[in-house]
Structure 1
């Protein structure tokens, strides 16, 4: 991580957009925004043990999809995690 990146901050527009995404996703699956953020943090912590990832650009989404063999829709977790380096830290 560069020195300049250390002091950079997200613009308020980007923060508001991220919060709205989390709120909309959590509303769809009856999961609180706090729970979504905890899930995202835990996933990042585990994956970071094995590779360097861009946690600022990481996105998670929970949606309900039909699953073969089940009558109703089941929640499914999708994660978009940019990998910066495949070597461990």
Structure 2
């Protein structure tokens, strides 16, 4: 309910979330030696490939790198709206 009211009255914290995401990318870069530019390129490539097969919600898509010790994991949260129909099969 609060989320609905926030969106209704325009008090969405979009710029706050963008700044938070940029800071997170900088921290990941420091820990993993992967530039934010490469992570964004990877995200764009994933969107392009997955969109060939599924209808996805790009606005709520999240791609991140999590590091634990000496390992790094690529974590993707990709909301799927539906499947695309195969053409010509």
Return the TM-score normalized by structure 1.
0.66
Matched, 1:76 2:78: no
Q: CA deviation at 1:42?
A: 0.7
Q: Which residue of 1 aligns with 2:49?
A: 46
Matched, 1:33 2:7: no
- Structure 2 CA distance, aligned partners of 1:22 and 1:56? 18
Higher relative contact order (CA 8 A, sep 6+): 1
Answer with 1 or 2: which has the greater Rg.
Answer: 2
Higher helix proportion (structure 1 or 2) = 2
User: How many aligned residue pairs are there?
Assistant: 74
Q: Which runs of 5+ in 2 are unaligned?
A: 1-12
- State the SS of the aligned residue for 2:81: strand
Q: Which 4+ stretches in 1 moved above 6 angstroms?
A: none
Matched, 1:87 2:66: no
